Structure 1
Amino acid sequence: MELNYTTKLKNKRVISVIGDESQSFLNNIITNDVKKIKFEKAIYSCLLSPQGKVVNHFFVTKIQRQFLIIIDHFLVKDFIDKLNFYKLRSKINIKVENEFDVLFTLNNELKFNSLVKFEDPRIKNFGRYVIVNKNNESKNIFKNEEIYYQNIDTKCLIDNIFNNIKGLYFSLELNMRELHAIDFSKGCFVGQENTARMNIKNKISKRAFLLNKNTNIKINEDLFFENEIIGKVISNTPAFAMIKMLNFDKFFNKKIKTSSNIEVSILKPDWM
């Protein structure tokens, strides 16, 4: 991406959680610790199923006593339904903030009339997110949004494939530990038991990786190395696969094949 790249993320939404018990409420259900949020900082976090599989992922930041959750639009309804399910009698208010836009920029010199801004907490120097009042910024500064999502894919982040894999995989299989989405010392969260057990015993049998091509690759195709199944395609645009970790070094950087005999390679991001 160009150094002055800026775009509006049209599919991002902002949800606010406010109230006397908002901090304890969020900390009891999501994987990361909201107490770590500081001025113009954010955390990356997940909401898991009771079994420990990822059903939502998002950023959380804060303005004074109001938590702001930045999440993809197709996850909003399900996420709010789950928050209300866990809410019980907690003294909190949950609201979709439709008057906000979410921007992404690499331009540190650009000045915004922003409510809050923060660096992407997943990967160092990836870029900065800015929450502004809707239609409050000049459209002339915005460049093609697809460039942002192409870079998301290049960095092996799951944003563009999550609609296909929601609720299917454990957080450690989706590299959430390496992406700083889990705090194992903060106490309980939904799905903690299986997550902690996998982490302590280092029992991660497979993990998500980007493949070097997507042409003619089919979802659910097996991947082979020397006639042994070493993974399965979970997305074809972009091409991601769930790869077995047993003997990973044996076939990483080697040509592997799909069930339909297409040669592919596993791409390992620099943060892993």
Structure 2
Amino acid sequence: MFSTSNTLLYADKLTDFNMPMPHIYACHLSDQLIQFTGPDKKSYLHGQITQDVNLLTNDALLWAGQCDAKGKLWSILRLFNFQDDYFAITSKDEIENALAEFKKYAVFAKVDIEQNKNHQLVGLFGDDLSAVLSELEIILPTENNSTIDFKFGKAIKLDNNRLILCIDKKAQLPSCITLLESEQKWQSLSILAGEPKLNNQAIAEYVPQMVNLQAIGGISFKKGCYKGQETVARMKFLGKNKRAMYILEANTNKPFEATEVEQQLGENWRRAGKLIQTSFDIDTNRAYALAIMPNDLALDTLLRTKQENPISIEIKPLPYSLIEE
């Protein structure tokens, strides 16, 4: 169990995600861990995902997609190396299908694939993390999407203000951290960073480029074969992909209830796309979402949720480019 002297829910209000955060916050993440062990783990994993596993060094964090034979995503993964094993972070909605698909052909290789329940994932965020980094004896690398071993486990740097800690369940967090009872603020920050994640309705619905996986380095177009490769390659080289993932924000006093988004065409409203992740910040009355919509949609397009009493939505700029080299 974790212990901290500041176990308050949203102890001090963050009025805006762009404003300085005076405290260091943490929350338990609902994301899950898949662990790959055995002498064939590298070659087996390499043939199952969109990423080049040869790039998975001890200090790297790599995005990857796990596809079915048609190139549709079973899961979106963040890969890292810890104690000579490979670990994949995926959402609680994705893990069941991800594990089943990974294990389907594992009987033909010397690899064990299991959900890791000995460690847990903690999201750590704040404007200045130096106090907790010093207490945990973590010296972060300069690069984002990097990892480092420390005395309690693995620290994963997403950016200067956000870390994921993969630590033993019995490890204690320093008292300088305010532990939140909800991960909604963390989810909002993740959405604003354009980090893709699938909900139940999105599993096996989209090819990797539709969730911007190519824009965050999650697809290798130079590696060998993997499930769904033909579709993924066709999307790139023949320009077949017509959809992308967008960041949405709404000023509202309630969370999104919808699963779909509509756009205004003249005096009418037409379906624009589906929501794959949502979050709600009770302090700022803002709802956030990731949505899959046409990739030529203008940022000033008028949008609303498809629900009773629709909510008007604004498209936020992505923090990365979708233009492929």
Decide: shared fold, TM above 0.5.
Answer: yes
The 3-state SS of whatever aligns with 2:93 is helix
Q: Cα 1:41–1:152, aligned 2, differ >3 Å: closer, same or farther?
A: same
Kept in 1, the 8 Å contact 2:74–2:203? The answer is yes
1:243 paired with 2:293, answer yes
Aligned residues: 265
1:6-51 Cα offsets, whole Å, 9 max, x none, are: 4243312222211111100000011111211222322111111111
1:150-169 Cα offsets, whole Å, 9 max, x none, are: 1112223333x523311111
Aligned to 1:35: 54
Aligned to 2:273: 232
Q: Aligned partner of 1:252: which letter?
A: L
1:121-162 Cα offsets, whole Å, 9 max, x none, are: xxx546322221112123742532322111112223333x52
Task: For 1:57 and 1:23, locate their aligned partners in 2 and report how far apart those are by CA, in whole Å.
Answer: 18
Aligned to 1:115: 153
Give how far 1:181 is off: 1.1
Aligned to 2:258: 218
Aligned to 1:138: 173
Aligned to 1:264: 313
Kept in 2, the 8 Å contact 1:219–1:234? The answer is yes
1:218-269 Cα offsets, whole Å, 9 max, x none, are: 33353234468572243584444332234x3xx3224346678864332221
Structure 2 counterparts to residues 51-66 of structure 1, below 5 A: 51-66=70-85
Structure 2 counterparts to residues 84-123 of structure 1, below 5 A: 84-106=103-125, 107-108=129-130, 109-110=133-134, 111=136, 113-120=151-158
Structure 2 counterparts to residues 12-23 of structure 1, below 5 A: 12-23=31-42
Q: Cα 1:18–1:206, aligned 2, differ >3 Å: closer, same or farther?
A: same
The 3-state SS of whatever aligns with 1:84 is helix
Aligned to 2:299: 252
Question: Which runs of no fewer than 5 residues in structure 2 stay unpaired?
Answer: 1-16, 137-149, 279-287
Aligned to 1:75: 94
Q: Cα 1:68–1:138, aligned 2, differ >3 Å: closer, same or farther?
A: same
1:200 paired with 2:203, answer no
Kept in 2, the 8 Å contact 1:223–1:259? The answer is no
Give how far 1:194 is off: 0.5
Give how far 1:52 is off: 0.9
TM-score (norm 2): 0.71
Given candidates 170, 183, 186, the residue that maps to 1:148 is 186
Q: Aligned partner of 1:178: which letter?
A: A
Kept in 2, the 8 Å contact 1:101–1:134? The answer is yes
Deviates more, 1:207-216 or 1:39-48: 207-216
Deviates more, 1:180-189 or 1:232-241: 232-241
Q: Let me know the Cα RMSD of the aligned residues.
A: 2.8
Aligned to 1:127: 162
Task: For 1:55 and 1:206, locate their aligned partners in 2 and report how far apart those are by CA, in whole Å.
Answer: 18
Deviates more, 1:15-24 or 1:65-74: 65-74
Q: Aligned partner of 1:241: which letter?
A: A
Task: For 2:37 and 2:306, locate their aligned partners in 1 and report how far apart those are by CA, in whole Å.
Answer: 50
Kept in 2, the 8 Å contact 1:234–1:242? The answer is yes
Q: Cα 1:242–1:60, aligned 2, differ >3 Å: closer, same or farther?
A: closer
Q: Aligned partner of 2:31: which letter?
A: K
Q: Cα 1:59–1:254, aligned 2, differ >3 Å: closer, same or farther?
A: closer
The percentage of aligned residue pairs carrying the same residue is 17
Give how far 1:189 is off: 1.4
Given candidates 156, 167, 171, the residue that maps to 2:208 is 171
Task: For 1:236 and 1:133, locate their aligned partners in 2 and report how far apart those are by CA, in whole Å.
Answer: 28
